[in-house]
Amino acid sequence: MTGLTRVRVYPAAFVGSPPSPGAGLCRALLVIGSARWDSVAVSDMSTPPPRGVPMSTAAVPARSGQVLADLIPSSRVRDVALVAGGAVLTGIAAQIAVPVPGSPVPVTGQTFAALLVGTSLGARRGLLSLALYALLGMAGVPWFAEGGSGTAAPSLGYVFGMLLAATVVGALARRGADRSVLRTAGTMLLGEAIIYAVGVPYLALAADMSLTAAIAAGLTPFLIGDALKAALAMGVLPTAWKLVDKR
Closest Cα to residue 166, out of 199, 129, 132?
A: 129
Whether pLDDT at 238 is above 60: yes
Beta strands in the chain (DSSP E): 97-98, 107-108
Q: Encode pLDDT of 53-103 as tens digits.
A: 444 333 334 466 889 999 888 899 999 999 999 999 999 999 988 887 777
Region 28-32 average pLDDT: 42
More confident residue, 239 or 99: 239
The domain made up of 68-245 has a fold known as Arp2/3 complex 21 kDa subunit ARPC3 (1.10.1760)
pLDDT for 3 equals 46
Whether pLDDT at 27 is above 60: no
pLDDT for 2 equals 45
- Length, in residues, of the chain: 247
For residue 130, give Cα distances in angstroms to 23, 48, 118, 174, 176. Answer: 83, 45, 9, 18, 22
Confirm whether pTM is higher than 0.85: no
Residue 164 amino acid letter: L
Q: Encode pLDDT of 199-232 as tens digits.
A: 999 999 999 999 999 999 999 988 888 888 888 8
CB 93 within 8 A of CB 110: yes
Phi, psi (5° rounding) for residue 150?
90, -170
Whether pLDDT at 105 is above 50: yes
Region 42-51 average pLDDT: 44
Q: Encode pLDDT of 156-207 as tens digits.
A: 999 999 999 999 999 999 999 998 999 999 999 999 999 999 999 999 999 9
